[in-house]
Structure 1
Amino acid sequence: MKEDFLHYIWQHQYFDKTALATTDGEAVQVLRTGFYNADAGPDFKEALLQVGTVEWSGSVEIHLRASDWFRHQHQHDQKYDQVVLHVVWEADRPVQRADGTLVPTLELKGLVNLALLHTYQQLKQSQHIIPCAPFWPAVNEITKRMMLERALVERLETKGHEVLQVHKASGNDWEQTAYSVLLRGFGFNTNQPAVEQLVKALPLAILRRHRHSLLHLEALLLGQAGFLENAPLDNYVETLQLEYNFLSHKYNLQPDRMQRHQWNFLRMRPANFPSMRLAQLAAMLHAYPALFTSLTEPTTIEQYEALFRVPVSAYWQRHYMLGRVSKTVQTSLGKGSAHNLIINVAVPLLAAYSRFSGDKVYQDKAINLLERVREESNKITRLYGELGWQARNAADNQAALGLFKQYCQPVNCLHCAVGHKILKQNAPAA
């Protein structure tokens, strides 16, 4: 058992309150449980209790054993002088405040419904990847849908927070932020470390000065990434090398130039090669120089597809790598990859700007986009599919990912609406 279970028991008052009394025999009546405190100090604040004949307003501290009070050094912390009730599973010794006065103690052992405790232990010790899998079918669809919607919003808040960290690191520049997030999106996980370095090695401010020349943009991106050095030669490669040599000296880029070996090409489809991705990025920067606006203002999926599927230069329509002609022709990013960028670039930017501006319209727009994108299933959504829940769109997929990572994987059932419903259904309060 962990303390969070006792927090849950206290918050929902899932224990026998008949003849409730402290370890000293004083009657206890809970008038208000208090508010959970996630910061330093007692666990629940602003509780209202009647102990004996006296009504007390103050804090409630919760431990597995009463002796944990001393193990946590609360007797020396004045924040705990306001504790009016010490709630424990096992009262193994009396406790005192900093001034030496005794703290009334309530022992829950023997007061909690054994079926509730058993269900909790089943969830915590479950061998299933989704801990509540055996109980899932019995939970009503409204509860599941409500929890998934909550998990989606929380996932968007997390993604938005991550983008705001990038925004802070970018000197509060939304254009540089959009560039950083977009470049990370083009990395598609496999080349994330290299992408992170390229963002630092080639700021957007330099690229924007050459936004009118697709040739210059390709030379800067491919050159700074390390792809032009020792590349198989053809006329276009030689032209790119000349342009990069001039521009890199002009902006003193050489010290930060990357090496080709830093990029991963193994087990990748040619369309996903980093050289091809950088060519696609160059085409997009050329067509849409106002990057942040371009990534946050479109209102339809078709507009976002047009944004991400800008045709590449003629050279890259017949090449996946420098100096090597391809038998197939690819003029732009695939539709599936464009939808991937909507999910991993546009949506997090919208979520971040919603938090930054305080305008909920941007978050609503992010959710609306996800609801209109059909995303391929993944191993996580398939787990829920096996339980009878099917994702309808990218919003559902993102919700499932959020639910799994924040609740199922860490076995955080006590804070999940589905877990709460299971506990309540299988073991109601005594």
Structure 2
Amino acid sequence: MKEDFLHYLWKFKKFDTLNLQTVQNDPILILKTGDYLELAGPDFFNAQLIIGDQKWAGNVEIHLKSSDWYVHGHEKDAAYENVILHVVWEHDTAIFRENNTEIPVLVLKEYVSPEMIKDYKELMVPKSWISCENQIAEIDEFIFKNWMERLFFERLERKSKFIYELLEELNQDWEAVLFCLVAKNFGLNTNGNSFLQIAKSIPFSIIRKESFEVENLEALLLGGADLLNAEKEDVYFADLKFRYFYLLHKYQLDKNYAEPVQFFKHRPDNFPTIRLSQLANLYNKHQNLFSKIISLKSVKDIYNVFNVSVSPYWQNHYMFDKESPKKAKSISKAFIDLIIINTIIPIQFAYSSIRGESISEDLIALMLEVAPEKNSIITKFESFGITSKNAFETQTLLQLKNEYCNNRGCLKCGIGVALLKSN
């Protein structure tokens, strides 16, 4: 038995509410269960109850055992002085307020049906992957869609925290924030942190000034990745190296190399040399990228903005000194989809939130245009009958799995609650 099950029972009154009595034998009538805010302090605020002949307004605290009151140190916390009812599963000790009056106690297990407990235990029994894997496909479509929308914006709020941290660090410069975010996502999981370090090490004012000459941008990015700190006979390498150290001297920059970038296990088109060249060409092509990104509302327009490739040298190279067959190496639509999911949508959401604007429908509409992601989590949901037609749906499933299923948060999940209610 877990405390969140008791919260669920009280919040939705999933027990016999007609014959309630305190352990002191006073009848209880619930007028209002209170607000479940999940904040510090009592579990439910502003409840209204009639206990005996007295009407009470105040807070309700819930524990598995009465003695948990003392285990959690509530007797020392003034926030609990206004508790009008202590709801417990087992009563093992009396609890008193500071003025020595006893807090009324309701033993909830005496009023919960065996069927409800059975349903709860079945839901919470560890399954091979998620608790509701045998029932999730049966959830009402309307309930599922509403919950997916909630999950989508929860995920965006989580991603926005990183954006707000960058915004604070970069003196409220949204262009600089976007540059860091784009760089990080160009590096994917393997080189993301390295690319982010490179982007943060170069003041964006320098990127602005040098963006008209793509070789200078490549020099700054490849140099920051410590890919120019060697001796090679390659002419392009020598030119970038000269530019890099010239720019360091020109702008009085320190040689702050990022953690080593990785080539291992990457397909050649994802080599850091290729991705950094594409990033340089993107900022060479769009000097005011943020103002363009923030107003984009269709996938087609985003594809057009990110329709860039590498510099001529990299069309027949993946690494310095090693020629390869010529290839344009344009940014693929699949890669742009990842940028939409992990960069464009989050920064549009964060920017609109700070400005107090609501663009929820626009963001959902944009995500509905993006192809669904392919990974092990999405594939596993498919095996349970949950198929995704777009990135909006895959993002919600990732949020569901990572934040709810993995943490056994069934009673905070719209799907888990719906299953218990239906049973």
| Counterpart Cα distance in 1 of 2:257 and 2:407 | 41
Are residue 393 (structure 1) and residue 380 (structure 2) matched? no
Deviation per CA, 1:363-392, whole angstroms, max 9, x where unpaired?
433222211011342211112211112101
CA contact (8 A) 1:309 1:338 kept: no
Match of 1:256, SS state, is coil
- Aligned equivalent of 1:359: 357
- Aligned equivalent of 1:85: 85
| Counterpart Cα distance in 1 of 2:78 and 2:38 | 18
Q: CA deviation at 1:258?
A: 4.2
Match of 1:191, SS state, is helix
CA contact (8 A) 1:96 1:102 kept: yes
- Aligned equivalent of 1:422: 419
Structure 2 matches for 1:220-259, cutoff 5 A? Answer: 220-230=220-230, 232-258=232-258
| Counterpart Cα distance in 1 of 2:394 and 2:309 | 29
Deviation per CA, 1:98-142, whole angstroms, max 9, x where unpaired?
221110111112211112112222222222312101222332222
- Aligned equivalent of 1:283: 281
| Counterpart Cα distance in 1 of 2:76 and 2:371 | 57
Structure 2 matches for 1:76-155, cutoff 5 A? Answer: 76-155=76-155
* Paired residue type of 1:146: N
* Paired residue type of 2:202: L
CA contact (8 A) 1:22 1:28 kept: yes
Q: Which runs of 4+ in 1 moved over 6 A?
A: none
| Counterpart Cα distance in 2 of 1:306 and 1:323 | 32
- Which of 27-36 and 17-26 deviates more? 17-26
CA contact (8 A) 1:160 1:350 kept: no
| Counterpart Cα distance in 2 of 1:277 and 1:304 | 18
- Aligned equivalent of 1:23: 23
Are residue 379 (structure 1) and residue 367 (structure 2) matched? no
* Paired residue type of 1:338: I
Deviation per CA, 1:121-169, whole angstroms, max 9, x where unpaired?
2222222312101222332222222222221121122222321222122
TM-score normalized by the length of structure 1: 0.94
With over 3 angstroms needed to count, the CA separation of the structure-2 counterparts of 1:151 and 1:11, relative to structure 1, is: same
CA contact (8 A) 2:232 2:238 kept: no
- Aligned equivalent of 2:265: 267
With over 3 angstroms needed to count, the CA separation of the structure-2 counterparts of 1:244 and 1:59, relative to structure 1, is: same
Match of 1:31, SS state, is strand
Match of 1:86, SS state, is strand
Match of 2:189, SS state, is coil
Are residue 212 (structure 1) and residue 209 (structure 2) matched? no
| Counterpart Cα distance in 2 of 1:112 and 1:397 | 37
Structure 2 matches for 1:192-203, cutoff 5 A? Answer: 192-203=192-203
C-alpha RMSD over aligned residues: 1.6
- Aligned equivalent of 1:409: 406
* Paired residue type of 1:284: L
- Which of 44-53 and 350-359 deviates more? 350-359
With over 3 angstroms needed to count, the CA separation of the structure-2 counterparts of 1:383 and 1:299, relative to structure 1, is: same
Deviation per CA, 1:191-227, whole angstroms, max 9, x where unpaired?
1231232123222221111111111111111112211
- Which of 294-303 and 233-242 deviates more? 294-303
| Counterpart Cα distance in 2 of 1:355 and 1:285 | 26
- Which of 226-235 and 402-411 deviates more? 226-235
With over 3 angstroms needed to count, the CA separation of the structure-2 counterparts of 1:419 and 1:32, relative to structure 1, is: same
Are residue 312 (structure 1) and residue 310 (structure 2) matched? yes
- Aligned equivalent of 1:64: 64
With over 3 angstroms needed to count, the CA separation of the structure-2 counterparts of 1:339 and 1:117, relative to structure 1, is: same
Q: CA deviation at 1:231?
A: 5.5
| Counterpart Cα distance in 2 of 1:311 and 1:197 | 23
Identity %: 36
CA contact (8 A) 1:373 1:393 kept: yes
For these two proteins, the number of residue pairs brought into alignment is 423
CA contact (8 A) 1:77 1:98 kept: no
* Paired residue type of 1:283: N
* Paired residue type of 2:235: N
Q: CA deviation at 1:26?
A: 0.6
With over 3 angstroms needed to count, the CA separation of the structure-2 counterparts of 1:20 and 1:169, relative to structure 1, is: same
| Counterpart Cα distance in 1 of 2:54 and 2:182 | 62
With over 3 angstroms needed to count, the CA separation of the structure-2 counterparts of 1:75 and 1:224, relative to structure 1, is: closer
| Counterpart Cα distance in 2 of 1:99 and 1:159 | 47
| Counterpart Cα distance in 2 of 1:121 and 1:402 | 24
Q: CA deviation at 1:401?
A: 0.9
Match of 2:210, SS state, is coil
| Counterpart Cα distance in 2 of 1:212 and 1:137 | 53
Are residue 299 (structure 1) and residue 283 (structure 2) matched? no
Are residue 370 (structure 1) and residue 353 (structure 2) matched? no
Of the candidates 336, 339, 355, which is equivalent to residue 338 of structure 1? 336
CA contact (8 A) 1:96 1:103 kept: yes
* Paired residue type of 2:150: R
Q: CA deviation at 1:347?
A: 1.0
Match of 1:85, SS state, is strand
Structure of higher RCO (CA pairs closer than 8 Å, 6+ residues apart): 1
